[in-house]
Amino acid sequence: MKKPLILVTNDDSIVAPGIRFLIDVMKEIGEVIVVAPDSPQSGMGHAITINNTLHIDKVNLDKEIEHEYSCSGTPVDCVKMAVHEILKKKPDLCVSGINHGSNSSINVIYSGTMSAAVEAGIEGIPAIGFSHLDYSWETNFEPTREYVKKITQEVLKNGLPEGVVLNVNFPKASKGVINGIKVCRQAKAMWVEEFDKRTNPQGKEYYWLTGEFVNKDEGEDTDEWALENNYVSVVPVQFDLTAHQVIKTLNNWDLK
Amino acid sequence: MKKPLILVTNDDSIVAPGIRFLIDVMKEIGEVIVVAPDSPQSGMGHAITINNTLHIDKVNLDKEIEHEYSCSGTPVDCVKMAVHEILKKKPDLCVSGINHGSNSSINVIYSGTMSAAVEAGIEGIPAIGFSHLDYSWETNFEPTREYVKKITQEVLKNGLPEGVVLNVNFPKASKGVINGIKVCRQAKAMWVEEFDKRTNPQGKEYYWLTGEFVNKDEGEDTDEWALENNYVSVVPVQFDLTAHQVIKTLNNWDLK
């Protein structure tokens, strides 16, 4: 059987431990091509580069991989570049991550990792974004290996419905402590922002974005519940953003 | 009756004709505060600034507005900054735009204009993103005035369901040619990318992202159909990205 062609990308940059681990797992499953940002792109959401040029450089961080490229753009740029310029064909699968930090609940909206997966989905490529709740670059990813493999193999076996990609998050738990996998919905949580106001050496004020994650959604069918209870959360994510159930309501408004 | 407090932002920067027009319309309806990017942020999606500092400057481009600020961040940063640092309270409404260029169908995903509206929605503020199919800064926005007013007033009167914001797009049509307003779903369309490959003076290759918009969705209930037929399109947009209908499918997979 021909090995599946797997595109690997992320948003923490091509040298991040999370993507190096993901590449290592994917080599067990298929033929791997890597196209990932040359610098960290966290919080880039679904940004694309339209007012600047893009550069790609062939690198060789893993001797076993023939096609590995760093790209000056965003995660979404990386996917576009991989499919339309480097491969000039669709891979069988796109995996993004493993992100250093959570992309559960509302974080999916701000996430470069998930946007790469969504972009692949738009292109008709089955796609999975993987994220780990532990931000540290010292994280031990090994306990996630069996789950990354299992979920990836199930996607390759079953395919994904049109217009849907997977958002997978791993709890901060060591091997044996993870209770298994739970398919979930996105919790209704949000960030409550605070701005850390400082003064620069010239006396001008500036700000750092900071904030607190607030989850008031106690549903046991949510990703936040699963992660708190040491499950791996899997949320099917769609990019048809239409609130179909609201169309009827709006048609009753005076909009003629 | 107390005038509603309306936050105006965009992604084309605070000096773009589209936001100046939108401010002008909003002054007829409520008390206006402007917090908008100090430079163009098109294609920024739901990006936030977490690895850099943020700056705000009080400006006075419109003598009738007391609170007008330019911000160094993305459209999403502008909304966060407005609500949590400048206003320190929620406005009654947030409007974003009018964008120079379409944010219909899949463009909603890449759009800084819509991300600002979505961010306001996450904060619990009724929000509308307005976009015009004409990219030109010379666009005559006057034919859109009555529709901007009507849709804004209906949102202020009826409110919006939790978790939903509006994506409004205007056709390239002059007054009298616009056929009215249609509530729609997001068309299943996409960009087929091409990269314009060039060589810099040092002999190194670089790329410009370019592409062709392809719509194979012929539904007469789509935003693309409405716009082609000179209607103003209104799509209710949600930020719960869960593909709820797929959870059952995934539960039948071997993921235990």
pLDDT at B52 over 90: no
Q: According to the model, what pLDDT value does residue A46 have?
A: 79
pLDDT at res. B176 = 81
Q: Taking CA atoms, what residue in A is nearest to B155? A: A253
| A168 or A174, which is more confident | A168
Over residues B3-31, the pLDDT tens digits come to: 999 999 999 999 999 999 999 999 999 99
Q: What is the mean pLDDT of chain A?
A: 94
Tens-digit pLDDT profile for residues B136-188: 999 999 999 999 999 999 999 999 999 999 999 999 987 789 999 999 999 99
Residue B160 within a domain? yes
pLDDT of residue A6: 98
Domain count, chain A: 1
Distance CA B234, CA B183 (A): 5
B221 assigned ligand-binding residue: no
Query: pLDDT value at position A230?
Result: 97
What residue in A sits closest to B113 (Cα-Cα)? A47
What confidence category does residue A218 fall into, taking pLDDT thresholds of 50, 70 and 90? very high
- Residue A36's pLDDT is 97
Q: Which residues of B touch A239 (CB under 8 A)?
A: 106, 109, 241
Instruction: Give the 3-state secondary structure of residue B22.
Output: helix
- Own/partner pairs, B65-69, CB within 8 angstroms, 24+ separation: B65/B23, B65/B27, B65/B32, B65/B33, B65/B34, B67/B33, B67/B34, B68/B14, B68/B33, B68/B34, B69/B34, B69/B35, B69/B36
pLDDT at A35 over 80: yes
**Among candidate residues B75, B72, B69, B121, the one with its CA nearest the CA of residue B96:** B75
Indicate the DSSP class of residue A40.
Answer: -
Task: Note whether A250 contacts B239, CB cutoff 8 Å.
Answer: no
Task: Give the pLDDT mean for B29-45.
Answer: 91
Domain-embedded: residue A207: no
- Closest-CA distance, B66 to chain A, in angstroms, reads 20
Average pLDDT (A124-146) is: 96
**A49 has a pLDDT exceeding 90:** no
Residue A11 marked ligand-binding: yes
CB B54 within 8 A of CB B43: no
The enclosing H or E element of B249 equals: helix B247-251
User: CA B48 to CA A187: how far, in whole Å?
Assistant: 21
Is there a contact between A58 and A34 (Cβ–Cβ < 8 Å)? no
Look at the block and give the residue holding tokens 């320190």.
Answer: B88
Domain assignment present for residue B50? The answer is yes
Average pLDDT over residues A213-232: 96
Residue A83 has pLDDT above 80, yes or no: yes
For helices B145-158 and B17-27, angle between their N-to-C axes, nearest 10 degrees: 60
DSSP H or E segment with residue A147: helix A145-158
Q: Is the pLDDT of residue A96 over 80?
A: yes
What digits encode the pLDDT tens for the residues A185-211?
Answer: 999 999 988 889 999 999 999 999 988
Smallest CA–CA separation between B106 and chain A, in Å?
Answer: 8
| Least confident segment among A150-159, A178-187, B192-201, B213-222 | B192-201
B55 touches chain A (CB under 8 A): yes
Q: What is the pLDDT of residue B21?
A: 98
Per-residue model confidence (pLDDT) at position A51? 80
Question: Which residues in chain A touch residue B101, judged by CB atoms under 8 angstroms apart?
Answer: none
Instruction: Examine residue B210 and state whether it is found in any structural domain, yes or no.
Output: no
**DSSP single-letter state for residue A153:** H
Determine whether the interchain pair B246/A164 forms a contact, defined as Cβ–Cβ distance below 8 Å. yes
Instruction: Please report whether residue A36 resides in a domain.
Output: yes
Q: In this complex, which of B49, B109, B186 lies closest to A242 when CB atoms are compared?
A: B186
Q: Supply the pLDDT for residue B48.
A: 85
Closest chain B residue to A122 measured between Cα atoms? B190
CB B238 to CB A239 under 8 A? Answer: no
Chain B nearest C-alpha distance from A186 (Å): 6
Q: Confidence class of residue A26 from pLDDT cuts 50, 70 and 90? A: very high
Note whether ipTM > 0.85 here: yes
Q: How far is B186 from chain A (nearest CA, A)?
A: 6
Domain membership of residue B193 (yes or no) is no
Q: What's the pLDDT band for B45 if we cut at 50, 70, 90?
A: confident
C-beta neighbour count of A196 within 10 angstroms: 12
Owning domain of residue B25: 5-186+218-251
**For residues B117 and B120, what is the distance between their CA atoms, to the nearest angstrom?**
5
pLDDT at B236: 98
Residues 6+ apart with CB under 8 A from B208: A53, A54, B195, B196, B198
Q: Residue B207: count other Cβ atoms within 10 Å of its Cβ.
A: 23
- Of B173 and B82, the structure prediction assigns the larger pLDDT to B82
Length of chain B: 256
Name the strand (E) or helix (H) holding B153.
helix B145-158
Q: Is the pLDDT of residue A1 over 80?
A: no
Q: Is the pLDDT of residue A43 over 80?
A: no
Taking a C-beta distance cutoff of 8 angstroms, is the pair B210, B196 a contact? yes
Task: Please give the Cα distance from A111 to A168 (Å, whole number).
Answer: 13
| B242/A241 Cβ within 8 A | no
CA distance A58 to chain B (A): 12
* Chain B positions in Cβ-Cβ contact with residue A46 (cut-off 8 Å): 45-46, 109-110
What's residue A52's pLDDT?
Answer: 86
The CATH number of whichever domain residue B13 belongs to comes to 3.40.1210.10
Encoded tokens for A1 = 């059987």
Percent over 90 (pLDDT), chain A: 87
pLDDT bin (cut points 50, 70, 90) of residue A155 is very high
Residue B252 labeled ligand binder: no
pLDDT given at position B44: 78
Backbone region of residue A79 per phi and psi (left: phi > 0; alpha: psi in -120 to 50; beta: other values): alpha
Surface of B (215-234) touching A: CB under 8 A: 234
Is B213 within the bounds of a domain?
no
> Chain B within 8 Å of A186 (Cβ-Cβ)?
yes
A47: contact with B, CB 8 A cutoff: yes
Whole-number pLDDT of residue A50: 82
- Which pLDDT value is given to residue A211? 87
Specify the 3-state DSSP secondary structure of B170.
Answer: strand
pLDDT at B144: 97
Residue of B242, B247, B253, B255 best to disrupt the A interface, most CBs of A under 10 A: B242
**Does the structure show a pLDDT above 80 at B256?**
no
Q: What is the mean pLDDT of residues A81-91?
A: 93
Per-residue burial over B239-250, b = 16 or more CB atoms within 10 Å of its CB, e = otherwise: bbbbbeebbeeb
Mean pLDDT, chain B, integer: 94
Q: Is B188's Cβ below 8 Å from some Cβ in A?
A: yes
CB-based contact (8 Å) between A90 and chain B? no
Residue B49 to residue A209, Cβ atoms within 8 A? yes
User: Binding residue per annotation — B11?
Assistant: yes
Interval B105-114 mean pLDDT: 94
Q: What is the per-residue pLDDT across A113-131, written as a single tens digit (0 to 9) for each?
A: 999 999 999 999 999 999 9
Give the chain B residue nearest A44 (alpha carbons).
B47
> Is A235 in the B-facing interface, judged by CB distances under 8 Å?
yes
pLDDT tens, position by position, B119-135? 999 999 999 999 999 99
Chain A residue closest to B47 (CA)?
Answer: A44
State the CB neighbour count (10 A cutoff) for residue A65: 17
Residue from B75, B128, B94, B83 nearest B8 by CA: B94
Residue B140 lies in a domain: yes
Q: Do B238 and A237 touch (CB under 8 A)?
A: no
Q: What is the mean pLDDT of residues B33-52?
A: 86
